[in-house]
Amino acid sequence: MTQFQPAALAGAHTALITPFSQDGSTVDLSALEAQVLFQASGGVAGVVPCGTTGETPTLSDSERRSVIQTTVATAGPLGVKVIAGAGSNATAHAIELQSEAEGLGADASLQVVPYYNKPSQEGLFRHFTAIADGAKIPIVLYDVPGRSGVGLSVDTVVRLAAHPRIVAIKVANGSMGFVGDVAGRCDLEILSGDDPLTLPMQALGAVGVISVLGNIAPGLVAQQIAAGNRGDLAAARVVHERVLPLATGLLSLDGNPVPVKAAMSLLGRDSGVVRPPLVAACVSVRDQLTELLESVGVRGPANAHDSAGCSGTTGTR
């Protein structure tokens, strides 16, 4: 039964956007390949297709398979791990998606806390255990109560950590107490799911990140994680302070992934197109992103496209 060795998920992992054609009707697989190559050149340890940042709820079944397959085919030969999003709020469906990710060659899966139906802690334990019991690749738990409506308790995480296929947890709940308690009570690898909080999470025992910012600046994200993991939190803090305004803006100027797609468009790395019900970033958001990119030292052709209206909503991972 396949398992990662200890610390196998340490490092920077980028939560990939899904690039679309200009009309949003199809996935641009050539652009996806280019993005994975860009991530590899930045020194990331892994990439995460079909997560929140990948607009997975808007992908058809065939598109989801193509995204994972293309990511694996591009990343694998470069030694970049693929942690495929395979979660669902129906346990049977999550088991199917887990099997699919395995068949497509993913190195691990990302299993989100079931959303909308708000299960109890016992329900969460049974959900993840059922998935892990039949899994052939390792599982990363994903705690993001801002999107799922319910979160994992530390006690439930500790129970789940006893399963040999559950190897890590992506923490996007904003709680440093949660991170410290998990680190102190079990041996799951902790991955930050919130770029602005990665440094304090590292100080408490996190060994990596699943990063939105990595879509734009994979080298800087990898540099910060590497510094923290070798015990040099002072060096990690230097990078953290440099990227913090941009990292915060990507998750606050609009709902994720609207800002990061707009920023990538400004840099000539994506069309910036999102699928409904999301809408493209408005001019004022793009102007703010231009300033933030320049402040971090990331530059590109800043030829913003006009768009009507501006939602102004804040994003969650």
Pairing of strands 108-112, 11-15: unpaired
Report yes or no: 271 and 22 within 8 Å, Cβ to Cβ. yes
Rounded distance, CA 178 to CA 222, Å? Answer: 24
Instruction: Find the distance separating the first CA and the last CA of the chain, reported in whole Å.
Output: 32
Rounded distance, CA 160 to CA 240, Å? Answer: 31
Rounded distance, CA 71 to CA 37, Å? Answer: 10
Pairing of strands 81-85, 46-48: parallel
Rounded CA Rg of the chain: 18
Rounded distance, CA 186 to CA 188, Å? Answer: 6
Q: Where are the beta strands (DSSP E) in 107-175?
A: 108-112, 139-143, 166-171
Specify the pLDDT at position 8.
Answer: 83
DSSP state of 193: S
Specify the pLDDT at position 2.
Answer: 41
Closest listed residue to residue 270, CA positions, set 289, 248, 242, 243:
289
| pLDDT (tens place) for every residue of the chain, 317 residues total | 344 444 489 999 999 999 999 999 999 999 999 999 999 999 999 999 999 999 999 999 999 999 999 999 999 999 999 999 999 999 999 999 999 999 999 999 999 999 999 999 999 999 999 999 999 999 999 999 999 999 999 999 999 999 999 999 999 999 999 999 999 999 999 999 999 999 999 999 999 999 999 999 999 999 999 999 999 999 999 999 999 999 999 999 999 999 999 999 999 999 999 999 999 999 999 999 999 999 999 975 444 343 334 554 445 56
Residue 92 has a CB neighbour count (10 Å cut-off) of: 10
170 in catalytic set: yes
- Catalytic one among 116, 118, 136, 142? 142
Specify the pLDDT at position 306.
Answer: 38
3-state helix, strand, coil in the chain (%, to 5): 45, 10, 40
- Catalytic one among 116, 118, 136, 170? 170
Going along the chain from its start, the domains and CATH numbers come out as 11-252 (3.20.20.70)
Residue 93 has a CB neighbour count (10 Å cut-off) of: 12
